[in-house]
Amino acid sequence: MSARLALEGVAARLGDRAVLAGVDLAVAPGEIVGLVGRNGAGKTTLLRIAAGTLAPDAGRVTLDGSEIASFDRRARARIVALVPQDTQVPFPFSVAELVLMGRTPHLGFLGFEDAHDLDVARAAMQRMGIEALADRAAPTLSGGERQLAVVARALAQEPRLLLLDEPTAFLDLRHRLEVLTVLRERAADGASALVVSHDLGLAARFCDRLVLLGDGRVLAEGPPRDVLSPDTLRAAFGIEAEIVTAPDGTPLVVPRSVTTR
Amino acid sequence: MKVLRPARLLAVVAGLAALLVAAIALGLAWGPSDLSPADALRVLLDADATGPAADIVRRIRLPRVAAGALVGAALSVAGVVFQALLRNPLADPFVLGISGGAALGGVLVLALGAALGLGASAVPPAAFAGALLTTAALFGASGLRGRLAATTLLLTGVVFNAFASAAIVFLASLGGMAEGTSIFLWLIGNLAAARTEILAPLALLFALGLACALPLARTLNLVALGDETAEQLGVSVETAKRILLLATALMVGAAVSVSGLIGFVGLIVPHALRLVLGPDHRLLVPASALAGAAFLVVCDAAARSVLPGRELPVGAITALVGGPLFLVLMRRERARGWLT
């Protein structure tokens, strides 16, 4: 079976800075991969390229075996959903309207949502526990509420691949667990996810594999307990840390100090 | 949950269309020689009507009311489109500097036209040429080949308007008293120069703008959320932005060419409608066209009637009404937590 998402030798420049310098990465159907690395390592750029909203300067990106550039935009948007980092909404759209926008690639010619679209959006809001917010205007939401709405929008898009850029950054622990649990549910149904996160503990617990990005390259990848080692953390983040093992075998990073050189 | 259904769209459009008809009846009735709105409509619709009332309604007031409706609709639609494209609720039709270019073209003719043998009828074409040149410069400066970034567009527009104002002051100081007065009236914005000949091109450019904005109204919802979000949902954001900016620029250029710089319409009509109808552009775009038309027709009727024996530039009325009204609207938006 071909990978849901595959990047081969992907390189990207922003201005005159090389952000990605030859990245290989694959996400299998039903797999959740965590993308970790320090600020500016190229994680967001990688997600944009995987979403097809940014063309790489070199390399190949395929979705279920076909070049991503060969997809019509709407067809691509039915397969891949991106949850971006910046979710500010300057206009008073309601949460229901925001979530319904996830139906865009499924809508017919006139662009009006039908009963099925409403059902899908309602189910997505229920799953994220925000149905009570349905009629609230976006500017009145807290950062975390808005983030849940954006994840619900991505669910309403019914994608086979979810790309999430720090989806849990503004969330409390319960909601972080909620988002990752939803991803596991989708993975059990065969969907895949690539999640950028700075929460290494949750990433280790919920991801099948981690990809550690540094200076535009893959520094390490594999099961969390292989990727999270004192050496890789020093190389990737410039920190000294101990790795302890939780009773279920999940590796936990306990940071100690900044590496001095 | 409340979401837009086609039935609601039709109901809102029908209601605002009725409001526009009422505004037009008022616009035809009010003025130095008073008619009742019903009489004005009757004279207009009865092809056999003759006499002074028919002449006043058909030859004098109708072209002016039509121009007012088209200019008001164009400015309001442009306002709503720019607010979404620039993701900025403060954007108005003049924010991109297209108005500055048009004003410069118009003032050039007003200040120097007499020396060149050009009459007042040369003002609209010159203003429109100014709008076209500015639009071309705007696209050039903010990167036609790359991405059209909201910040770059805004900065270019601000600089362009400042440059145009300076050039206008320079031109105005070259001319005499008479030119100075006509430049002043034109800059405030008025419909006194609305003639039958300019209606067809104005209507055409407005129709073109609306024909681009209406099918892209749902896209405007997505672009208002940000380029990245719209793009990942399968929208070709850059193409949509280019089409909308160009079509709207032409529409604004046409409106400014006819009426000068009528302020506030393009700012307050979208804000007021958003408070009542919500932010969905599938509703806001057609509603802005109808409500903007009705608003400017009524303001212009007031401009012709409030001072006996003389008329005010309608731009003064829209600013006098619009300034305080905008503050009220802003307070309501704040009270709802839409602004911080």
Q: Which residue in chain A is spatially nearest to B6 when comparing CA positions?
A: A112
The whole-number pLDDT of residue B39 equals 80
Closest chain B C-alpha to A239 CA, distance in angstroms: 33
Domain boundaries defined on chain B? 6-336
Are the beta carbons of A101 and B233 separated by less than 8 Å? yes
**Res A194 pLDDT > 90:** yes
C-alpha to C-alpha distances, B128 to B99, B131, B249, nearest whole angstrom: 9, 5, 10
B212: region left, alpha or beta (phi > 0 left; psi from -120 to 50 alpha): alpha
Cβ count near B110 (within 10 Å):
31
Residues A111-135 as b/e (b if ≥16 CB within 10 A, e otherwise) read eebeeebbebbbebbebbebbebbe
Q: What is the mean pLDDT of each run of 10 residues along chain B (340 residues)?
A: 86 97 92 79 79 81 94 97 91 88 89 78 88 86 67 86 90 81 87 86 95 95 92 93 91 92 94 94 97 97 87 92 91 85
Are the beta carbons of B233 and A113 separated by less than 8 Å? no
pLDDT band for position A204 (cuts 50, 70, 90): very high
Q: Are A87 and A101 in contact (CB under 8 A)?
A: no
Q: Which one-letter DSSP state was computed for residue A259?
A: P
- Does residue A58 sit in helix, strand or coil? strand
| CA–CA distance, A204 with A241 (Å, rounded to integer) | 15
Are the beta carbons of A104 and B218 separated by less than 8 Å? yes
The whole-number pLDDT of residue B144 equals 52
Would you state the structure tokens that stand for residue A260, as one six-digit string?
A: 């001095």
Are the beta carbons of A94 and B87 separated by less than 8 Å? no
Domain covering B6-336 in this structure, CATH number: 1.10.3470.10
* Pick from B111, B137, B126, B108: nearest CA to B249: B137
pLDDT digits (tens, 9 = 90+) for A32-66: 999 999 998 999 999 999 999 999 999 999 999 99
Q: Give the bridge partners for A33, in sequence order.
A: A194, A209
Please report the DSSP string for B199-249 in residue order: HHHHHHHHHHHHHHHTTTHHHHHHHTT-HHHHHHTT--HHHHHHHHHHHHH
Which residues in chain B are contacts of A81 at CB distance < 8 A? 232
pLDDT digits (tens, 9 = 90+) for A214-236: 989 999 999 999 999 999 999 99
Helix and strand counts by DSSP (H, E) for chain B: 15, 0
Which residues in chain B are contacts of A113 at CB distance < 8 A? 3
Long-range Cβ contact pairs of A123-131 (< 8 A, separation 24 or more)? A124/A99, A124/A152, A124/A153, A124/A155, A124/A156, A125/A95, A125/A96, A125/A99, A125/A149, A125/A152, A127/A152, A127/A155, A127/A182, A128/A152, A128/A155, A128/A178, A128/A179, A128/A182, A129/A178, A130/A95
The whole-number pLDDT of residue A233 equals 93
| CA–CA distance, B310 with B187 (Å, rounded to integer) | 19
Which residues in chain B are contacts of A78 at CB distance < 8 A? 234
Are the beta carbons of B228 and A112 separated by less than 8 Å? no
Q: Which one-letter DSSP state was computed for residue B195?
A: -
| CA–CA distance, B28 with B77 (Å, rounded to integer) | 24
A25: region left, alpha or beta (phi > 0 left; psi from -120 to 50 alpha): beta
Please report the DSSP string for B18-87 in residue order: HHHHHHHHHHHH-SSS---HHHHHHHHH-TT--SHHHHIIIIIIHHHHHHHHHHHHHHHHHHHHHHHHTT
| Range with top average pLDDT, A4-8, A90-94, B98-102 | A4-8
pLDDT band for position A128 (cuts 50, 70, 90): very high
- Assess A80–B contact: CB distance below 8 Å, yes or no: yes
Q: Give the bridge partners for A222, in sequence order.
A: A210
Which residues in chain A are contacts of B279 at CB distance < 8 A? 91-93, 97
- Assess A106–B contact: CB distance below 8 Å, yes or no: no
- Does residue A128 sit in helix, strand or coil? coil
- Assess A12–B contact: CB distance below 8 Å, yes or no: no
Which residues in chain A are contacts of B278 at CB distance < 8 A? 92-94, 97
Direct distance between the N- and C-terminal alpha carbons of chain A, in angstroms, rounded to an integer:
46
Residue A69 sits at φ, ψ, to 5 deg, of -70, -15
| CA–CA distance, A21 with A250 (Å, rounded to integer) | 31
| CA–CA distance, A201 with B59 (Å, rounded to integer) | 78
ipTM value, please give it: 0.92
The whole-number pLDDT of residue A89 equals 86
Cβ count near A185 (within 10 Å):
12
- Assess A190–B contact: CB distance below 8 Å, yes or no: no
What angle, 0 to 180 degrees and rounded to 10, lies between the N-to-C axes of helices B237-259 and B196-213?
160
